[in-house]
Amino acid sequence: MGKSNGKHKVETENLDLEHELPPADGDENSPGSASAAPAGELSGVEAELQKVKAERDNLLDRLARAQAEFDNARKRAQKEQQDFRDFAMVDAIKSLLPIVDNFERALQAKSESGEFRTGIELIYKQLQDVLMRLGVQPIAAKGQQFDPHIHEAVEMVETPDAADHEVLEEWQKGYKYKDRLLRPAMVRVAKNSGK
């Protein structure tokens, strides 16, 4: 072994290359660090990665759409159920309205017995309270301007005492259920050609 500048030259012939540590990153002088993979393999891996990413994005998009469709279907089913309940309720309420009419007629009749009248008034009030809790509202008619959407004109009366198309008298009450017309109010309407 020769000396050069006071340092020994390492002979590469006696080195145990099998047990040598791998070169550090960025060590360009080490053997085998020229290129870990050929350029063709690297572009193939990148292409595969892009393909997998595109497939992932497609699946996430499909999942988001499926969730939105499910939410819409659930909301639509709830609305249909509520509409069905409202429709069933309308039929039940319509069958009660003639009973309410008969109670109103009984209350308008002159009665000798005060207890009988008090009983009728209590029953009528209970029935009205139940209808109000269910969402049934009477339609205002007397003194109102005639509205063909909620009033049904039974008679037109010429009179100078009221405005044209003013409701003079209500013959049968009209009712609404949650903004839905159950039955129009049957009314007598003023006809005043002078105003």
Domain assignment of residue 104, yes or no: yes
Domain assignment of residue 98, yes or no: yes
* Domain that includes residue 147, residue range: 137-195
Q: What pLDDT shows up at residue 65?
A: 93
Q: What pLDDT shows up at residue 68?
A: 92
Indicate yes or no: pTM above 0.75: no
Q: What pLDDT shows up at residue 195?
A: 47
From 115, 134, 153, the end of a domain falls on 134
Domain assignment of residue 23, yes or no: no
Q: What pLDDT shows up at residue 14?
A: 56
What CATH number has the domain bearing residue 148? 2.30.22.10
From 88, 110, 134, the end of a domain falls on 134
Q: Are 118 and 165 found together in one domain?
A: no
Q: Are 93 and 65 found together in one domain?
A: yes
Q: Are 100 and 119 found together in one domain?
A: yes
From 100, 119, 134, the end of a domain falls on 134
Give average pLDDT by consecutive 10-residue segment, the chain, 195 residues: 51 56 53 52 84 93 93 91 82 83 79 76 86 87 88 86 85 88 89 68
Q: How many domains does the chain have?
A: 2
Q: Are 155 and 124 found together in one domain?
A: no
Q: Are 76 and 124 found together in one domain?
A: yes
Q: Are 83 and 110 found together in one domain?
A: yes
Q: Are 118 and 146 found together in one domain?
A: no
Domain assignment of residue 22, yes or no: no
Q: Are 72 and 105 found together in one domain?
A: yes
Domain assignment of residue 12, yes or no: no
Domain assignment of residue 30, yes or no: no
DSSP for the chain, written as a single string:
--EETTEEPPPGGG--GGGPPPPPTT-TTSTT-S-SS-HHHHHHHHHHHHHHHHHHHHHHHHHHHHHHHHHHHHHHHHHHHHHHHHHHHHHHHHHHHHHHHHHHHHHHS--S-HHHHHHHHHHHHHHHHHHHHHTEEEPP-TTSBP-TTTEEEEEEEE-TTS-TTBEEEEEE--EEETTEEEEPEEEEEEE-TT-
What CATH number has the domain bearing residue 78? 3.90.20.20
